[in-house]
Chains A and B, each alone.
Chain A
């Protein structure tokens, strides 16, 4: 059942402009990050780690959450237009299937984006003449970044499902970035979706999570995803929708 929903969802992404966003935003973050690194080589002496601090800052802190918000808004916009709600709600599939299919599709897109980003990071580093080996924390950053990305996707999908406007949920996502930054500074980074991304990808501090923090990180992600997805599906079942 879920498989059918996912394959229908995948079909809808054909010829879509969303692919341009998925490519452009990582490229922009890596370009800005590399330029910053190049111009400040005097202070940024830790090779790949320093490059990550620059590239990751723009990507993990700003462009990735924005990319997720746009992606989620787009994927619901398809249904908000042309009375498509009537069609998907009259299809013999459970409401959970419709929501989860969208969430999983966004998750798959995020894997592609993460992979593309790390490739750009590698190319950028080599172009800048870094010779040391890649940081061993890199896979962990990517995996935790993806997981936090899934949490943010849940939040943004739930918002974009309710709000017909494309821009409003994206704007709310932008606000959440700054709230997340505040939470991180206040050392509450493990308790807010957007700062989970900051923490998980190690963009502001590359020291990694302590043994105590690591389980909290995973637990908070699972908790957020579980609660928000369940809430959104419940809402879809219980509330009338104006197509």
Chain B
């Protein structure tokens, strides 16, 4: 699998504020790459730099293995995108908006029809876009991005403004794209649940820095599980263990320990047993992704 997008120490500074810091993003062919981060984390800025809509202050971007500056038109001809909110000309109908893009991209009529059919806008295509609902504008934006059936599709928050049925529908559509049309897809979102259900690979960005990049599986294994211990007398056990340097938290009937390796768990057990304290349960609790994501990005950090 070849690398479709790669960024090297990509940075963007606005005045004194660093919006994106040394981001090394890597998207491989055929992936659905979920770009995840709270609002204002730098997702859109990064995607805009990948498309050449914004110039990086440092670092560089390659798409399809080619430098962006020198091969801008080639790259853009193979890339469909929907950035920020959908672009549209309100005084034109949906179909006429598609025609504007069709003329700029030089694609045949059947692509226009196919794209409208995929997002299910065929029946509304003769209405002025100014009268569209937000969800319909979003669909139109996706249709415009899909129109040339590009090798690379970049969708910034594609489910914004869609109703639950629409979200499900677009999610299924995105999942099908790599096999059906041989596409590589990048989607950004601030919702983990969104990314979790579609992406094959994820990148987590926070305050302009890439915190994690890899598969969902790797993310789950990133953090050690919480160890829960239940004893005859938790209060006494806690006191005993505190003397040995363990600082558990009370969690219902259990004492909860963070970041313990196997050796430490065995040691802990031995201490309790040697003191004559019966250990009733030792369990491990895997952190769910939501928890890991929040730990990484910090609850206070999200707006």
Task: Report yes or no: B85 in contact with A91, Cβ–Cβ below 8 A.
Answer: no
CA distance A34 to B83 in the complex (A): 53
CA distance A243 to B104 in the complex (A): 19
Chain B, Cβ-Cβ closest to A98: B104
What 0/1 readout, one digit per residue, does chain B (72-93) give for beta carbons within 8 Å of chain A? Answer: 0110110101011111111110
Q: Contacting chain A: which of B52-60, B180-188, B199-207, B294-302? A: B52-60
Complex Cα–Cα for A88 and B77 (A): 12
Q: Is A204 an interface residue (CB 8 A)?
A: no
Q: Is B92's CB under 8 angstroms from A11's CB? A: yes
Shortest distance between the CB of B225 and any CB in chain A (Å): 43
CA distance A7 to B51 in the complex (A): 24
Chain A interface, DSSP helix/strand/loop, else mixed: helix
A176 → chain B closest CB, angstroms: 29
Task: Assess the B103–A7 pair: CB atoms within 8 A.
Answer: yes
Report whether B87 and A4 are in contact in the complex, using a CB–CB cutoff of 8 Å. Answer: no
| B104–A82 touching, CB < 8 Å | no
Complex Cα distance, B55 from A15, in Å, reads: 35
- Which A residue sits closest to B48, measured CB to CB? A86
Stretch at the interface among B94-102, B211-219, B264-272, B284-292: B94-102
B25 interface residue (CB < 8 Å to A): no
Contacting pair A94 B73 (CB below 8 A): yes
20 additional A-B pairs beyond A12-B89, A85-B53, A93-B73, beta carbons within 8 Å, are A4-B103, A4-B106, A8-B104, A11-B103, A14-B91, A82-B86, A83-B87, A85-B87, A86-B53, A86-B84, A87-B144, A89-B53, A90-B51, A90-B52, A90-B76, A90-B81, A94-B73, A238-B55, A243-B53, A243-B87
B105 CB-CB contact with A under 8 Å: yes
CB pair B92–A14 under 8 Å, yes or no, is yes
Complexed CA–CA distance, A11 and B53 (Å): 24
Pairwise interchain contact A82-B88, C-beta atoms closer than 8 A: yes
Chain A residues contacting B74 (CB-CB under 8 Å) are 92
A interface residue numbers (CB < 8 A to B): 4-5, 7-8, 11-12, 14-16, 78, 81-94, 238, 240-241, 243
23 contacts between A and B (CB under 8 A): A4-B103, A8-B100, A8-B103, A8-B104, A11-B103, A14-B91, A14-B92, A78-B89, A82-B85, A83-B85, A85-B53, A86-B87, A87-B144, A89-B51, A92-B73, A92-B77, A92-B105, A238-B55, A240-B55, A241-B53, A243-B53, A243-B83, A243-B87
Closest to A239 in B: B55
Nearest residue in B to A241 (C-beta to C-beta)?
Answer: B53
> B81, B88, B104 — which one has the most chain A CB atoms within 10 A of its CB?
B104
A87 to B81, CA, bound (A): 8
A91:B105 contact, CB within 8 angstroms: yes
Chain B residues whose CB sits within 8 angstroms of the CB of A82 once the complex forms = 85-90
Most buried by A among B48, B85, B89: B89
Decide: A84 near B87, CB < 8 A? Known: A5-B104, A90-B76, A240-B54: yes
Task: Report how far A11 CA is from B100 CA in the complex, Å.
Answer: 7
A233, chain B: closest CB distance, angstroms: 14
Asked if A81 contacts B100 (CB within 8 A), the reply is no
Cβ of A5: which chain B residues have Cβ within 8 Å of it?
A: 103-104
In whole angstroms, what is the CA distance A82 to B54 when docked? 18
Give residues 92-126 of B contacting A (CB, 8 Å).
92, 96, 99-101, 103-106
Given A83-B84, A86-B84, are A92 and B96 also a contact pair (CB < 8 Å)? no
Task: Please tell me if the beta carbons of B86 and A91 are within 8 angstroms of each other in the complex.
Answer: no
Chain A nearest CB from B154 CB (Å) reads 9
Cα distance A84–B82 in the bound complex, in angstroms: 11
Verify B52–A89 contact, CB threshold 8 A.
yes
Q: How far is the CB of B87 from chain A (nearest CB, A)?
A: 4
Cα of A85 to Cα of B86 in the assembled complex, Å: 11
The answer to whether B104 touches A14 (Cβ under 8 A) is: no
Say yes or no: A90 contacts B79, CB within 8 Å.
yes
Given contacts A78-B89, A84-B87, contact A12 B55 (CB under 8 A): no
Q: In the assembled complex, how far is the CB of residue B107 from the closest CB belonging to chain A, in whole angstroms?
A: 11
A16–B55 Cα distance when bound, in Å, is 33
Q: Which residues of A contact B84 (CB under 8 A)?
A: 83, 86, 243
Say whether B104 contacts A4, CB under 8 Å.
yes
Least CB distance, A203 to chain B, in whole angstroms: 34
Report Cα–Cα, A87/B101, bound state, in Å.
8
Q: Which of B51, B79, B90, B144 contacts A81 (CB 8 A)?
A: B90
Shortest Cβ gap from B142 to chain A (Å): 13
Alpha-carbon separation in the docked complex, A8 to B104 (Å): 6
Q: How far is the CB of B131 from chain A (nearest CB, A)?
A: 13
